[in-house]
Amino acid sequence: MNRLFIIGNGFDLAHGLPTSYNHFINDYWTLGIDGRKNDDLIQLDISGHIDTSGIESFKDLQILFANKRFFPNLRMKPDDLSYRYSDGSIALYFKNEFFRLIMQRQNIENWVDIENLYYTLLKEIAIKETRRRKYSKDIKTLNKEFDIVKDLLEKYLKEKVLDFYDFEGKESMYWSGFYNVMKPISIFNNEHSLFKEFNSTKDILDLEELLKIERSNGQPISTAYYLNFNYTPTTIKYLELIGEEDVTCNHIHGKVTDFEYPIVFGFGDEMDDDYKKTENIDDNEYLRNFKSFQYLQNSKYDELLSFINRNKYQIIIMGHSCGLSDRVLLNNLFEHENCKSIKIFYHQKGDVDNYTEIIQNISRHFNDKALMRKKIVNKTLCKPLPQTEIPKK
């Protein structure tokens, strides 16, 4: 019985890394003292009016614009979030429509929300296309604007995460909390509730036999597989600590600044009711950012299939929201006959946790709900995700 760790952004956040959507977007709007910005996303000019070093989010900027003492004649257009001075000159103008919609929508909180917004806009364009109107320019524009946001994300991760944090940190205290839970199934782990995490008598008997063989041989015989959806190298340290003979790491969504394995950012729900309509439009531009086609650019997806087809496995969820943007892949993993158990490490803050939210998201990837209830480990046997902080360089 092997273990498949599904690792998402919450895993990096639990290591103290600023990799959330809010970290990224607030960094973009942090202005410094200049008060100017002119790039592929926006044109902004409030220099000469006020010190902008306190601006650390788009909300901060909007509050500042609303202050009539500093901006008595500023006019806003609510439909496009633009601001102009009384003489018509620009205070803020969005060049990138996709980015503007991200900022305009109040429900954008996670990376999966960005991917979902992209797919929603793509479907709106596709509906117009099927009504025999010519909107090929619209889909090309959407994809171009989406790519600009993706490139900005990669730049942020390199400059503010990879270049800033010590992923080679030698001090064991930074890694011990996760080290103890990222190992293969083994008698040497002292997991007292292990058998309770499986419902099938046959699976329990198989586990007993595995542990019996380990006891006899004096060494582990199962493996762990880190399916890393992040673009960062956080999991590599555990590969080093636990041993490459027992652990494999698959950066299924690529890595920052890696030409061979570029980052995968897009949408992956081909089970959606509208996907077939989109696919039937004779324009490959509509399919450009679907993850299935990006997975085929290298061998990472094939390597994953080889692992899940080889032997029975238990899934461990660590920091992944299990949202619909990865639906096809997750459905394959969850409903596979070799998947025998799904255990969740949930995020807890005070008295509040997201265990229920995660299992609700997982349920959307199951066609067979009875099978889902059989596989998901109940909350009493699950634990909060450990918390640590990778040191800065």
* pLDDT tens digits, 377-393: 999 999 999 999 999 99
- In the chain, where are the structural domains located? 2-20+164-384, 26-98
Taking the C-alpha atoms of residue 262 and residue 327, their distance in angstroms, rounded to an integer, is: 21
Taking the C-alpha atoms of residue 12 and residue 256, their distance in angstroms, rounded to an integer, is: 14
**Whether the predicted pLDDT of 157 surpasses 90:** yes
- List, edge to edge, every strand of the sheet that includes 75-77: 36-38, 42-45, 90-94, 82-84, 75-77
Which pLDDT belongs to residue 173? 74
The pair phi, psi for residue 90, each rounded to 5°, is -85, 130
Give Cβ neighbours of residue 117 (< 8 Å, ≥ 6 apart). Answer: 98, 101, 102, 105, 108
* pLDDT tens digits, 100-141: 999 999 789 899 999 999 999 999 998 887 776 665 679 999
* pLDDT tens digits, 269-319: 888 888 888 888 888 999 999 999 999 999 999 999 999 999 999 999 999
**Whether the predicted pLDDT of 150 surpasses 90:** yes
Taking the C-alpha atoms of residue 175 and residue 191, their distance in angstroms, rounded to an integer, is: 19
- Mean pLDDT check: name the lowest of 5-14, 23-32, 268-277: 268-277
Look over the chain and give the mean of its residue pLDDT values, rounded to a whole number.
Answer: 92
Task: Give the largest CA-CA distance in the chain.
Answer: 84
Cross-strand partners of 336: none
Residue 159 carries which DSSP code? I
| Percent of the chain surpassing pLDDT 90 | 71
Give Cβ neighbours of residue 61 (< 8 Å, ≥ 6 apart). Answer: 29, 31, 55, 92
Residue 268 — pLDDT band, cuts 50, 70, 90? Answer: confident
Taking the C-alpha atoms of residue 371 and residue 302, their distance in angstroms, rounded to an integer, is: 25
- Tokens 């639906």: give the residue: 327
* DSSP-derived 3-state class of residue 345: strand
* Cβ 304 vs Cβ 227: under 8 Å: yes
**Whether the predicted pLDDT of 48 surpasses 80:** no
Rg (CA), the chain: 24
How many residues make up the chain in this entry? 393
Which pLDDT belongs to residue 153? 97
**Whether the predicted pLDDT of 329 surpasses 80:** yes
* pTM, rounded to two decimals: 0.93
Which pLDDT belongs to residue 241? 85
Which pLDDT belongs to residue 134? 60
Q: At what angle do helices 21-29 and 111-130 cross, to 10 degrees?
A: 90
Of the candidates 287, 270, 267, 268, the one whose C-alpha atom is nearest the C-alpha of residue 126 is: 287
Helix residue ranges per DSSP H, the chain: 9-13, 21-29, 58-65, 97-104, 111-130, 136-157, 176-179, 201-217, 236-242, 275-280, 291-295, 300-310, 327-334, 355-363, 369-375
